[in-house]
Structure 1
Amino acid sequence: MSVAASPPPRSSVRDAVNDLRYRFSIKLFLSELLSKNWMEPIVPFLLMVALIGYFSATVPNYTSLDNTQQLLRLFAEIGLVSVAMGFVLISGGIDLSVGAIFAVTNLAALILFKSWEWPVWAVALGTLAVGAFIGLINGVLVGYLKARPFLTTLVTLIILRAGFDMVSEKYAPRFAVSDIESDVWDFLGGGTILGIPTNALALLVVLIIGHVYLSRSRYGWHIMAVGSSRKAARHAGIRVERVLLGTYVLSGLLCALAGLFYAARQNSAGSDTGQGWEMQALTAVVLGGISLAGGRGTVWRAAMGAVIVFLLINGFVRLGLEGYLTMAALGAILLVAVGFDVKWAKNRGKAIQKIYVNPTRLELKQAPSIARGSASPYAENDRLSQAEVIGLGQVEGPEDVILDRQDRLYTGTREGWILRFSGPNFEHREVFARMGGRPLGLAFDKDENLVCCNGGMGVYGVTPQGEIFKITDETNRTWGKLNDDSRLRLADDLDIAPDGKIYFSEATIRYEMHSWDMDGIEGRGNGRMICYDPATRTTRTIIKNQRFPNGVCVAHDGQSVLYVSTWLCRILRYWIAGPKKGQLETVVEQLPGYPDNLNRASDGGYWLALAGIRSPAYDLAMRKPDFRLRMVKEIPRDEWLYPGLNNGCVVKLDADCQPVETYWDPTGKLHPTITSMREHKGYLYIGGLENNRIGRIKLPGADPDWTGWESYWGNKQNSRVRPTSGSGISAVS
């Protein structure tokens, strides 16, 4: 079970009331609601519900079983054609020939069945082949010959219409006198399965498969990518021409499927078959929320828009409107829909930005003194001013540093690389792994795989040979939350327990790596602690509602996990074994700065990095949510009030996590924004998120033979994480 940390004590009832007001802000709810993708078509969804409700209330027996079946049977074909149009629009194109393809394939099905007397299964295959072939022609012209989709499909529409009129006139008398009968053919046109018309059931299957295809398959992602930007998709290695070709073929297939069911239902081909359906389909998909610019939309939106158009046309017919008036009304609706689509797409993001940041009240106790020369264990000094420099100008943002058994030094960089320094003075630099993302916390497992928290990607591993494998990039979702927290947005730091379980922090579930500082402005409990179990290959959240959990360290005895809360300036302990298993407690209540990484020391204690130093002004600002909100909205970003992030400090803690001594660089010239440190064979290695170097200082009296790897894995039999052969997924041995 996950553990939710209790909120800090409050000084008054008024403070508690204010805390509740800020914690359960209506703007917070609205911002997360508007951020959901399914909120894009909320207006057409409400319109669809309103139309169904209106006709149900005004038309007698509108919701009866017989009428519902009849409406579904009439709707299915236009629904399929609308989905076909939707696929093409998502890919960044347009297909004005969908109505003509529908008419031609309807005619082809009738010819194959009534005139040529093919069996029904052959008729179905032949009809689909005709639709696919027409789509192939469109795809070749648009994808490979770079023809404009609008003009190309308009010409296809004209040619197909002319051909349809010529052929249908010839075959119409034969259809009228044909006496071919088939139970399968009749079932396609008028049968039901579990009370659902066959064509409507086929539409439902297409929608389900289409949803999986677009949202869960590589080919669907390629369609989205091409629709968003053909140039970017081509640079990403996507074969744009092939994607466009496949999309138009798919459009032809769906239109042919609609034509097959229509032929079986009507058993005739009138001159007006499919006429104006391209306009109806285009109106439907735009109404449903599929962007005319491409790259955005789902099959469900296309179907929803088709329902609206179908209900409107059905209503116009019931009102006795002439056909030309119906088309004029649809044109007006399309014009309004396009205007709304452009406005909504442009302003939805702005609306979210205005209300997304929601600061809450955070009251900290008075910070311990750091006055130089005072008796405080945190007293400022210059002990880092003479630190040795490693890799000066060769590394960008070494957030965490670690050494292996061969005394080689590793760090992640802003470029998404993991660098390795080796040699007597670490003069040799090499790119150990090109991981991407933002490598943050590092740890070695027993097999000497380097396990890494990667901001924006999850938790990954690198074998000693430099091969990258994924460990986990998601956890269990918290049901009831609008914000989908199953994806790992900002995995921060990690450590590995004796049984091989990986405990890691996710600093925030509301912000990404590039905007992590906004979480500090909010001060909310947006973070969590997570555990990955290699024995079951499962990931689960164990502690929720944490304020930027950061550095993680398994205690020397392996019974508990220590981690820091950056915004609360605290160190906490979560027991993973022993009589207190599952309990959470605060170990250090107040720190003078904002803690980052936390690692073991050779004497049984721990090392703690302070990335920034508290100030009275910032502590006061954290008690004033409205002030911070106005600051974000009214002041340029480079003038916001922040903690002192230009002072470097490392704190030495004893076995009980009590401060013993500190190492400072108060000028911030050598080591500003210290985020990590590792002890290794009598030296302390220092990294920082904004640094262009790694520091090293000699530790007087430290064990010259102690290493972090031996502390965790030396002379022990433990589980460990390793890549499974060929799968790239971690396992247990």
Structure 2
Amino acid sequence: MTLTDRLVRWRYRLVPDHVLGELLSKRWMDNAIPLIILVAVAAVFGSLIPGFYGPQSLSDLARQWGEFALIVLALTIVMAAGGIDLSVGSTFALGNIVALALIGVAGLPVWAVVVLTMACGAAVGLVNGLLVGYLRLRAFLTTLVTLIIVRAVVDMLLLRYAVAIAASFPDSDLWFWFGDGFVAGIPVSVVVAVAVALILHLVLSRTRPGWQVLAVGGSRRSAHNVGIPVRRVICMTYVVSGTLAAGAGVLFASRLGAAGSDIGLGLEIAALTAAVLGGNSLGGGRSSAAKAVIGSLIVMILVNGLVRLGVTSGANSLLLGLVLLIAVAIDVRWLKNRNKVLAKVYVSPTYADLPPAPGTDDGSPYALNDRLRPVEAIGLGEIDGPEDVILDEDDNIYVGNRTGDIVRFLAPDYSRHEVFAHVGGRPLGMALARDGALLVCIGGMGLYRIGQDRTVERLTDETNRSLFSIIDDSRLRLADDLDIAPDGRVFFSEATVRYEMHEWPVDCLESRGNGRIICYDPNSRTTRTVLRNLVFPNGICMTHDGQSFLFAETWACRVSRYWFDGPRKGQVEPIIPDLPGYPDNINRASDGTYWLALVGMRTPAFDLALRMPGFRRRMARRVAPDEWMFPNINTGCVLRFDETGRVIETFWDRKGDNHPMITSMREHKGHLYIGGISNNRIGRLKLEGADPGWTGWQSYWGRA
């Protein structure tokens, strides 16, 4: 290795280029910039104003924030569904005067005051919801008109009840507790706002109504096409918005006990600024309670800080308008360009230096031949993409189909076939359990079990999350092969945690250790990761000692052994470190050795490109994906090797006509059955000298 290669290798080993793309792909990344702004605003005003965060000042600021946060949360709910509510300020003022009139003039109990006031806000929201949701009027103009009408109603109520309200003094400790009380040292309004924010977060992220709101905000036509009641969802967001705005008015009334014509004026602009500044999208579909909380804190600190500095109210409004304009511009540009930026930085190739590829000329254990020429085709044209193939004790063949079916070809002549089970996803590796059940890795879904009665059961679709992982690697993306230990534990490989089933070539372009091997224990029904940072692990086979298994790493072109039990537990040993091609599934042979499929062959050009991560990065950014350089996966090979890594024999189809692509093979009663993820057939080859009575099931579980 040259000095330049060493420097490049260490540069890509020490600098985690993929982190930036993983950060940008996270939804919570939208909160990063608002959070930075919040910290900056808090630090600036804290340094400019002595005592800005003093106990009394902080208590007053917190009470005001609790009320304002409810307004922002109210607006956020409507924005999540793709709407806007300019009437929240007027509804807040209405809630304030209605609450004061009911508690001071009518003398109603506190619980009735709260219920009736929030009912008034819900009524305003219902009017907005009916007009916008059911009559399909423009949300901006409709709520602007509602703002004017509700403000007029507030002014009329002021003329009638202002004197009576000013002369009254409610005799209720509970009422004043709402405005001035504490819960465990925290102001009541803050507790209410935090509780509402938590509920909103759970609703939007964990419940069907919340998903429906976000779906409507993302695309109303698509939401309608999948059966979501779009009009009702929109209407209910306005009802909730009005209810929360009136609830904020109750808290304000209990704190100040004053009614004036200027209450709530311009509040809708401040709330809209806070919602957008926090990262909630004006276009809908991208909203959260956390964004609303962050934005409300920024605006509250900003406004109070400017007042403490003596800035006039006009300047305050001007500043809020400018902030809103900047926030809207950032929101629009971010939505437009985020995917473009992510596409440029997410694919992050690393330095990969493969050992020299062994030759395939005469005298090499990998010497070319035509031993696959006699392969006969089973189910030609009747199956699509049988990635793996397995046989039961009755000689029936099971293969996965691209359409999500497990297809069974019936012995003895395999002229008839049936859909054994429909699993929905892409069936990949398979294994037979002791009880005859078929265990299947399904790309994008996880590990599944199909009983002899054809019932489909999910065993696991997640594992423990990595401690320092940015992406959520607890969900299984591409489980692809498995084998079963003598005690029933299932060890299966997940090729990549960064890409989905259809994106597997991109993982090759990276050649980064994105894969892992996972163990599922049926006794405790728990799943845990046992090996990480593997380069596209894509083949697992239990050794005969019952304490270890062999596994292949496709893009690393090697086969290794891992001890999961016994005195060498936890150790990994390379078996074949320098294959001439890309290994796939591994299975047992009748003489105690192992079969290995090579899905394709290495090429000097791609081996060189693996040592040039900068070249691959530029290619990913500047060239269309269908023109990227990928490994050759057109010509395959089957080879047999022992536990020391000695290659005993190879089987080639040099022209690639009879069985062009090979991803798996199974020996069964003197024949080798071959599968290929891009083929339309199952291959069968008679093995000279093989045990005609040997089966894989008996090798694992003994004779029945």
Distance 1:178 1:193 in 2: 27
Residue equivalent to 1:370: 360
**Counterpart selection for 2:452 from 464, 470, 474:** 464
The one of 600, 608, 611 equivalent to 1:620 is 608
Within-5 A mapping of 1:255-274: 255-274=245-264
Inter-partner Cα distance in structure 1 for 2:359 and 2:650: 12
Partner of 1:335: 325
Provide, for residues 388-422 of structure 1, a one-character-per-residue CA deviation record: whole Å limited to 9, x for no partner. 22333333322222233443333333333333333
Q: How far 1:560 moved relative to its partner?
A: 0.8
Contact 1:130-1:256 within 8 A present in 2 as well? yes
Q: CA RMSD in A?
A: 2.4
Q: 1:555 aligns with which of 535, 543, 548?
A: 543
Partners of 1:607 and 1:652 within 8 A in 2: yes
Q: 1:151 to 1:610 in 2, by over 3 A?
A: same
1: CA distance between counterparts of 2:76 and 2:608? 53
Give how far 1:470 is off: 2.4
CA 699–286 in structure 1, closer or farther in 2 if over 3 Å, else same: same
| Structure-to-structure mapping, 1:77-96, within 5 angstroms | 77-96=67-86
- Preserved CA contact (<8 Å) 1:606 1:657: no
**Greater CA deviation, 341-350 or 590-599?**
341-350
Q: Is the 8 A contact 2:394 2:411 kept in 1?
A: no
2:369 matched residue in structure 1: 381
Distance 1:174 1:442 in 2: 80
**Counterpart pick for 1:568 among 556, 564, 567:** 556
CA contact (8 A) 1:397 1:414 kept: yes
CA positional deviation for 1:590: 1.6
Alpha carbons of structure 1 residues 154 and 388: separation in structure 2 relative to 1, 3 Å: farther
Match among 652, 655, 659 for residue 647 of structure 2:
659
Q: Deviation at 1:75?
A: 1.3
| Residue-pair matches, total | 704
Query: Which digits, 9 at most, give the CA deviation of each residue in 1:333-388, with x for residues without a partner?
Result: 222211111112222322232222332222222222223xx233322222323322
Map of 1:74 onto structure 2 = 64
Alignment of 1:162-181 (within 5 A): 162-181=152-171
Instruction: Measure how far apart 1:209 and its partner are.
Output: 2.3
Q: Residue type matched to 2:537 in 1? A: P
Please identify, of 619-628 and 281-290, the stretch whose mean Cα deviation from structure 2 is larger.
619-628
- Residue of structure 2 equivalent to 1:521: 509
Residues 526 and 545, structure 1, Cα contact 8 Å, conserved in 2? yes
CA displacement, residues 268-315 of structure 1 (integer Å, 9 cap, x when unaligned): 332222222222211111111111111112111111111222222223
Query: Contact 1:575–1:584 at 8 Å: present in 2 too?
Result: yes
Structure 1 residue aligned with 2:228: 238
Indicate conservation of the 8 Å contact 1:605/1:657, yes or no. no
Instruction: Note closer, same or farther for the CA distance 1:535–1:146 as it changes in structure 2 (3 Å cut).
Output: farther
Measure how far apart 1:618 and its partner are.
2.1
User: Post-superposition shift, 1:611?
Assistant: 0.6
Gap runs ≥5 in structure 1: 1-10, 717-733
CA distance in 2, matches of 1:469, 1:235: 30
Deviates more, 1:35-44 or 1:496-505: 35-44
Is 1:315 matched up with 2:281? Answer: no
Deviates more, 1:607-616 or 1:118-127: 118-127
| Aligned counterpart for 2:110 among listed residues 104, 107, 120 | 120
In structure 2, relative to structure 1, the CA distance for the partners of 1:48 and 1:221 (3 Å cut) is: same
Residue by residue over 1:633-663, the C-alpha shift from the partner in whole angstroms, topping out at 9 and shown as x without a partner, is: 3444344333221102111233545322222
Q: 1:76 to 1:231 in 2, by over 3 A?
A: same
Summarize deviations over 1:230-278 as a string: whole Å, max 9, x none: 2333344434344333333332332232122112112233222222222
Give the C-alpha shift of residue 328 in structure 1.
3.4
Which residue in 1 is equivalent to 2:27? 37
Any idea what SS the aligned residue of 1:686 has?
Answer: strand
Label 1:115 to 1:420 Cα distance change in 2 as closer, same or farther (>3 A).
Answer: farther
AA aligned to 1:43 is I
Please say if 1:438 is aligned against 2:426: yes
Helix, strand or coil at the partner of 1:213:
helix
Matches within 5 A, 1:138-537: 138-371=128-361, 374-422=362-410, 424-537=412-525
SS of 1:224's equivalent in the other structure is helix
Structure 2 residue identity aligned to 1:597:
N
**Corresponding residue for residue 687 of structure 2:** 699
**Identity within the alignment, %:** 53
Deviations 1:157-179 (A, max 9, x none): 23322222222322222212223
What is the letter of the counterpart of residue 358 of structure 1? S
Corresponding position of 1:647: 635
In structure 2, how many angstroms separate the alpha carbons of the residues matched to 1:602 and 1:242? 65
Please give the secondary structure, in 2, of the residue aligned with 1:516.
Answer: helix
Q: Does the Cα contact within 8 Å between 1:92 and 1:292 map onto a contact in 2?
A: yes
* 1:384 partner letter: L
Q: How does 1:669-708 map to 2 (within 5 A)?
A: 669-708=657-696
In 1, are the aligned partners of 2:428 and 2:441 still within 8 Å (CA)? yes
The Cα of 1:471 is off from its aligned counterpart by 2.0
Deviates more, 1:644-653 or 1:664-673: 664-673
1:596 pairs, out of 577, 584, 589, with 584
Distance in 2 of aligned mates of 1:671 and 1:97: 69
Rounded Cα–Cα distance in structure 1 between residues aligned with 2:231 and 2:128: 12
Residue 415 of structure 1: SS of its match in structure 2? coil
Q: CA deviation at 1:136?
A: 3.5
Write the letter of the residue equivalent to 2:549.
V
* Pair 126,38 (structure 1): closer, same or farther in 2 beyond 3 Å: same
TM-score by length of 1: 0.90
Rounded to whole Å, the distance in 1 between the matches of 2:644 and 2:226 is 51
How high is the TM-score relative to the length of structure 2? 0.94
For 2:414 and 2:236, locate their aligned partners in 1 and report how far apart those are by CA, in whole Å: 53
- Contact 2:425–2:442, Cα closer than 8 Å, also in 1: yes
2:88 pairs with 1:98 = yes
Specify every segment of 5 or more residues in structure 2 that has no aligned partner in the other structure, as ranges: none
**1:564-623 superposed Cα distances (whole Å, 9 cap, x missing partner):** 111221111111222212211111122111001111223322221101111222222222
Distance apart, 1:14 and its partner CA: 6.0
Distance 1:714 1:118, change over 3 A: farther
Equivalent-residue separation in structure 1 for 2:208 and 2:487 (angstroms): 36
Amino acid at match of 2:267: W
Q: Provide the residue aligned with 2:566 in structure 1.
A: 578
- 1:6 alignment partner in structure 2: none
Q: Distance in 2 between matches of 1:707 and 1:222?
A: 52
Task: Assess, with a 3 A threshold, how the Cα gap between structure 1 residues 284 and 605 changes in structure 2: closer, same or farther.
Answer: same
Q: Following the alignment from structure 2 to structure 1, what is the Cα–Cα distance between the partners of residues 403 and 3?
A: 48
Amino acid at match of 1:216: R
Instruction: Report whether the alignment pairs 1:611 with 2:599.
Output: yes
Separation in 2, partners of 1:510, 1:579: 34
Question: Partners in 2 of 1:56 and 1:591 — Cα distance?
Answer: 63
The alpha-carbon deviation at position 321 of structure 1 amounts to 4.4
Counterpart code for 2:609: A
In 1: Cα distance, 2:281 partner to 2:403 partner: 34
